[in-house]
């Protein structure tokens, strides 16, 4: 068992900086999800840890062993790929047994281990089949079996569920999480799906354009995003962003969005004016934090028009038009709203986020 430590990892491909000075610590037994949009450097980071790519700069430790100069086979990590990479001409048994045969273990021991792993993954009845005769979920389990049987220090998983249909993917998420906890093997799991990341991770590391943006629990990255990118990437539908100018009149502060204004407390106003690089800021409000009223029940409500409604079963997403901006609202309440109806909205101050428009860093 071992944790993984990455120090100042940089990897370039020609002019592209795929991974840019990334430092990251994954604790022993932890399930870390590496999350970010396509091309942000997730696979490259994983391949550097596995030894399939050579870093240009930085160090990689598995436990307290510096592994930069170790061949992939000597790192004791097991990688599970998106494509499963099963050998099509071999049976399930032989696929799982393959890494043990490479290690030249005695046949009796190989048989025992493969059977144990197959039982654990509930695929004992499939051992004589070939990959072509398996469903996507079954192939996935065989690929996992081949990784588990090696008893590695670390699992590296690159979007292992992305080829499965939606229902099976949700089922396998829970299975994999459970499996990881039972085995207690340190795992680095790559995905671009923020819901998958939130549901599976002990800790999420969010990357963008090769740069690590934030590391934290699902709760932390959702509630306290460190910058505009993380705020917009985590959460579905994404956070609403509204360009505003901070203004002050006789000690009263408000945010001027052009089409409407939002009054804020003097204490919040002061914090923003102290921390922001200018009065140009971005107001962020999650769709679930917009309060919607059918009547103008209070002063200072913002008038909006229903643009479209998106029922999702237990909840509904309402797209509202405020002048030329669309503000999304997610609510559990039942509203009978039609396109073009007039409604009123407000944001409670303890739910809003404020970003510096120039640096894109979180102010509040």
Site for Mg ion in 86-115 (CB under 5 A): none
Diameter of the chain by CA atoms? 84
Cβ at position 325, least distance to ligand ATP in Å? 30
Are 77 and 156 in contact by the 8 Å Cβ rule? The answer is yes
Mask: binding to Mg ion, 22-61, rule CB under 5 A, as x and -?
Answer: ---------------------x------------------
Helices H / strands E in the chain, number of each: 9, 20
Q: Does 65 bind ligand ATP (CB under 6 A)?
A: no
Cβ at position 176, least distance to ligand ATP in Å? 18
The residue (of 45 and 95) whose beta carbon lies closer to Mg ion is: 45
Residues 6+ apart with CB under 8 A from 45: 6, 9, 11, 19, 22, 34, 190, 207
Strand, coil or helix: what is 56? Answer: coil
In this chain, which of 3, 9, 35, 41 binds ligand ATP, going by CB under 6 A?
41
Residues 6+ apart with CB under 8 A from 204: 32, 33, 35, 197, 198, 215, 216, 217, 218, 221
Q: Does 214 bind Mg ion (CB under 5 A)?
A: no
Are 260 and 320 in contact by the 8 Å Cβ rule? The answer is no
- Per partner kind, with CB cut-offs from 5 to 8 A, the member of Mg ion, ligand ATP, none near residue 38 is ligand ATP
The residue (of 137 and 210) whose beta carbon lies closer to ligand ATP is: 210
Whose tokens are 């203004």? That residue is 247
- Per partner kind, with CB cut-offs from 5 to 8 A, the member of Mg ion, ligand ATP, none near residue 269 is none
Cα 109 from Cα 125, distance rounded (Å): 20
Q: Which stretch binds ligand ATP (CB under 6 A): 32-40, 57-65, 94-102, 220-228?
A: 32-40
The residue (of 43 and 180) whose beta carbon lies closer to Mg ion is: 43
Q: Which stretch binds ligand ATP (CB under 6 A): 11-19, 267-275, 297-305, 311-319?
A: 11-19
The size of the interface with ligand ATP (CB under 6 A), counted in residues, is 12
- Per partner kind, with CB cut-offs from 5 to 8 A, the member of Mg ion, ligand ATP, none near residue 216 is none
Cβ at position 48, least distance to ligand ATP in Å? 10
Cα 10 from Cα 29, distance rounded (Å): 25
In this chain, which of 5, 7, 25, 39 binds ligand ATP, going by CB under 6 A?
39
Long-range contacts from 191-195, C-beta under 8 angstroms, 24+ separation: 191/33, 191/34, 191/35, 191/42, 191/159, 191/161, 191/162, 192/35, 192/36, 192/37, 192/38, 192/42, 192/159, 193/35, 193/162, 194/35, 194/233, 194/234, 194/235, 194/236, 195/236
Q: Does 16 bind ligand ATP (CB under 6 A)?
A: yes
> What residues are paired with 166 via a beta bridge?
none
The residue (of 44 and 213) whose beta carbon lies closer to ligand ATP is: 44
Cβ at position 56, least distance to Mg ion in Å? 19
Cβ at position 60, least distance to ligand ATP in Å? 15
Contacting positions for ligand ATP (CB under 6 A) = 13, 16, 18, 36, 38-44, 192
Residues of the shown chain interacting with Mg ion in the complex, contacts defined by CB under 5 A: 43
């Amino acid at each position: 068992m071992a944790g993984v430590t990455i120090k100042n990892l940089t990897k370039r491909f020609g002019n592209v900086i795929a991974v840019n000075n990334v430092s990251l610590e994954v604790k022993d037994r932890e399930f870390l999800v590496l999350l970010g949009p396509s091309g942000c450097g997730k696979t490259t980071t994983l391949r550097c840890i596995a030894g399939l790519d050579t870093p240009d700069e930085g160090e990689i430790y598995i436990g307290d062993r510096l592994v930069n100069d170790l061949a992939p086979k000597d790192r004791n990590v097991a990688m599970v790929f998106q494509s499963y990479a099963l050998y099509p001409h071999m049976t399930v048994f032989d696929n799982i047994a393959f890494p043990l045969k490479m290690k030249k273990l005695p046949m009796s021991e190989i048989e025992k281990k493969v059977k144990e792993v197959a039982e654990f993954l509930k695929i004992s009845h499939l051992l004589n089949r070939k990959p072509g005769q398996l469903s996507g979920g079954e192939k996935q389990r065989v690929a996992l079996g081949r990784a588990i049987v090696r008893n590695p220090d670390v699992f590296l998983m690159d979007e292992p569920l992305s080829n499965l249909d939606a229902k099976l993917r949700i089922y396998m998420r829970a299975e994999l999480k459970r499996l990881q906890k039972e085995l207690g093997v340190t795992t680095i799991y790559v995905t671009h799906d923020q819901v998958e990341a939130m549901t599976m991770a002990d800790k999420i590391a969010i990357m963008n354009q090769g740069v690590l943006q934030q590391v934290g629990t699902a709760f932390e990255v959702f509630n306290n995003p460190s910058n505009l990118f993380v705020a917009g990437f985590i959460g579905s539908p994404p956070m609403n962003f509204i360009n505003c100018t901070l203004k002050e009149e006789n000690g009263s502060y408000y945010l001027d969005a052009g089409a409407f204004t939002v009054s804020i407390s003097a204490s919040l106003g002061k914090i923003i004016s102290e921390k922001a690089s200018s009065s140009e800021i971005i107001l962020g409000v999650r769709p679930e934090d917009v309060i919607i009223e059918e009547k103008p029940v209070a002063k200072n409500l913002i008038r909006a028009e229903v643009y479209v409604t998106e029922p999702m079963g237990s909840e509904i997403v309402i797209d509202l038009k405020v002048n030329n901006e669309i503000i999304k609202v997610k609510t559990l309440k039942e509203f009978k709203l039609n396109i073009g109806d007039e409604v009123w909205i407000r944001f409670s101050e303890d739910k809003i986020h404020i970003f510096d428009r120039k640096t894109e860093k979180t102010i509040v």
